[in-house]
Amino acid sequence: MFRLPDWSVDRERYARDAETVEHGFWARVREHLGGTARLEDGVTLYYCAVDPRTPLKVKALLMAALAAFVTPARGPVRVLGSLAGLNASALFAKALAAARAHVRDEHRERARAALARLRASSSKESSSEEPS
């Protein structure tokens, strides 16, 4: 099993990443609805990252990966090596491997439901809000 490296969480970085994800994640998901093979994994990771039961160390890792997805040109990401330049599918696969023990069936179910609602929606608005 993959183990997360022994590092402490940079709380300022975590807060910046969480804010980036909060403001841009759902708009970016909408842009990738037809193309990214592992988009469901990315949305699953989002729900794992916002789950209060997920340990902070894992949340920080996931928020860094999700922030890199939201703003891919923001520069090197120093989590699990450099994630900069990875396409969304590779980014989600690497983050999912690291956080697998913390991803629950509930996260996958919520991701599938959110993507189904987005796909059913005919509007292509760039809302940053979670699909209801």
Chain segment 42-70, per-residue pLDDT in tens: 999 999 999 999 999 899 989 988 998 88
d(CA 94, CA 17): 17
Mean of pLDDT values over 81-101: 73
Q: What is the CA radius of gyration of the chain?
A: 14
pTM for this model (two decimals) = 0.78
Q: Are 46 and 111 contacting, i.e. CB atoms less than 8 angstroms apart? A: yes
Query: Rounded to whole angstroms, what are the CA distances from 16 to 43, 64, 67?
Result: 19, 9, 9
d(CA 91, CA 60): 15
Spell out the domain ranges in the chain.
Answer: 11-120
CA angle (42 as vertex; 66, 63 as ends), nearest 5: 25
pLDDT band at 130, cuts 50/70/90? confident
Chain segment 35-47, per-residue pLDDT in tens: 766 889 999 999 9
